[in-house]
Copies of this chain bind each other. A is one copy, B any other.
Amino acid sequence: LSVKAYLGSQTSMSPMESQSEKAEAFRKMHKGEVLLLPNAWDVPSARIFEDSGFKAIATSSAGMMVSLGYPDGQRIPADEFLSVVRKVATVLHVPLSVDTVSGFGEEPDSVAKFIGKVIQAGAVGINIEDFDHESRTMRPLEKQLGRLKALVKLRDESDVRFVINARTDSFRFAPGDESDRFDEAVRRGRVYRDAGADCIYPMGLVGARHIESYVKSLESAVNVMVRKGLPPVGELKRLGVARLSFGPSASYAAFGLLKRASREVLESGTYTTLTEGAINFEELNSLAEERKGPP
């Protein structure tokens, strides 16, 4: 794997130095306070989050794919995916982490090649999954390990030391009962950590007791996702969580609002949901305007 071949000599956004600084800054955010990471799906959602004061932004694969007209997964053409990553990275001042689903490839080499393009498009962090969306089955641990090792090598040979967030779907798709699945999530998390992943993301970790137990077993940065029942940020900090991401929850909420607004117009003939608490034309338009300087 040649890093040069994957990363090229420059990115489409800021100079490489600035991107590697962003990567370092993003890496440091995994220590200390809980890193609050809102997942956007397009340019304006990313900008709204940055303007609101988040110190880094992620993408939601489900949100992004669906907004482009594809179901979640890897049915979207890779070039279309990369084109949106580039657009979002270009308008942001803060670090951007990209959910790459399974890396748009199966073999280590093809995954590393794709992730190289994601970094080239301006990202300084990536998520990579260990289950297959189409078949909804877990990849064998050895297989996923090979894929992760290729990404770790790419990262370590690169000027942009991007953050690798290794997701495991053991809680949902590993065999056995709840306890077996928890054990498998721990086992995989440790293997991914030892292989060099920077953060472990066990999908479906929600309850305080489970979170505490998982974080203690890992002794690594752990990512949890917003869901009903997730303890508030202060409690997550106490439990040792390094990173909280929104996942697709912001798009769930936005489309929930569109449903309520629709019902109100169709049933009551009024527009309160559309007009209360809304932004205005200038603010919407500013989300796509080039900015003069840092926020």
Contact = CB atoms under 8 A, between A and B. Distances in A.
Interface string A253-275: 11111111111011011110111
Interface in A149-201: none
Contacts of A105: none
Contact of A288 (B71, B261, B273): B71
A45 interface: yes
A230 B269 CA distance: 11
A277 B257 CA distance: 7
Contacts of A262: 38, 48-49, 52-54
A256 B281 contact: no
- Identify the interface centre among A72, A227, A285: most chain B CB within 10 Å of its CB: A285
A47 to B, nearest CB: 9
Contacts of A255: 44-45, 48, 278-279, 283-284, 287
A78 interface: no
Nearest to A45: B258
Contacts of A72: 281, 284-285
Given A274-B250, A279-B255, A69 B45 contact: no
Interface string A228-271: 10101110000000000010111111111111111101101111
A112 interface: no
Given A265-B38, A277-B260, A43 B69 contact: yes
A27 to B, nearest CB: 21
7 contacts: A43-B68, A44-B255, A48-B258, A48-B262, A69-B91, A72-B284, A226-B275
The 9 closest A-B pairs by CB, nearest first: A233-B269, A52-B262, A252-B278, A43-B69, A256-B278, A254-B254, A249-B274, A69-B87, A66-B288
